[in-house]
Amino acid sequence: MTVCLLLQIKLPATLENLAAFIEPVKSCAEKQGFSQKKILQIELATEEILVNIVNYAYQDHPGYVQIRCSVDDDKRFGIEFEDTGIPFDVLSLDTPDVTAGISERQFGGLGVFFVRKLMDDVRYYRKGDKNILKISMSGSAET
């Protein structure tokens, strides 16, 4: 399996940098021929993950996020997010109760839930002092 790196960006983990990550990821997905619907899903998943890293990864010092977009032989589009913040597996979060009524419904947990639902595959692992989250969307042929 050959994986071709399409894009790599490393910037401080701040809300101000959100667009500087998201816009290139979108153009990258567009070049892969994804439908508008899938591009919006990729954009949404990317934003939700970045916001989590910005808000929670670095508690007492500033840090960075690095993203890498790639495509493999099967036209699977992958985005890898790397940070050196506190070890945190977002996939360990409880699934929000999406059946709760309006008064009982809690505010949190939806972002990560979206990522799991919208992307075809989501994996987390630790590599040294790094959190790595890799999401992927299957090939543009089946838009």
Partner 1 sequence: MKMSTRNESGATVVSVKGKVDTVTAPEFGKYLNEQISKNQNSLIVNMAELYYMTSAGLREILGAGKELKDKGHEILLAGLQDNIRDVFQISGFASLFKIFDTEKSALEQV
The residue from 5, 51, 86, 91 that contacts partner 1 (CB under 8 A) is 51
CB of 84 to partner 1, least distance (A): 22
> Which token pair is 23?
């816009």
- Nearest partner of 53 among 107, 96, 17, 8, judged by Cα: 17
127: Cβ–Cβ under 8 A, 6 or more apart, which residues? none
Report if residue 59 touches partner 1, rule: CB under 8 A: no
The Cα–Cα gap between 21 and 18 comes to 5
Q: Which one of 61-69, 77-85, 104-112, 121-129 is the stretch in contact with partner 1 (CB under 8 A)? A: 104-112
Q: How much of the chain is helix, strand and coil, in % rounded to 5?
A: 40, 30, 35
**Which positions from 10 to 49 touch partner 1 by CB under 8 A, shown as an x/- string?**
-----x--x------------------x--xx-xx--xx-
Pairing of strands 77-83, 130-137: antiparallel
Closest to partner 1 by CB, 43 or 82: 43
Closest to partner 1 by CB, 9 or 72: 9
**What type of residue is 70?**
S
Note the residues at the interface with partner 1 (CB under 8 A): 15, 18, 37, 40-41, 43-44, 47-48, 51, 96, 98-103, 105, 107, 110-111, 113-114, 117-118
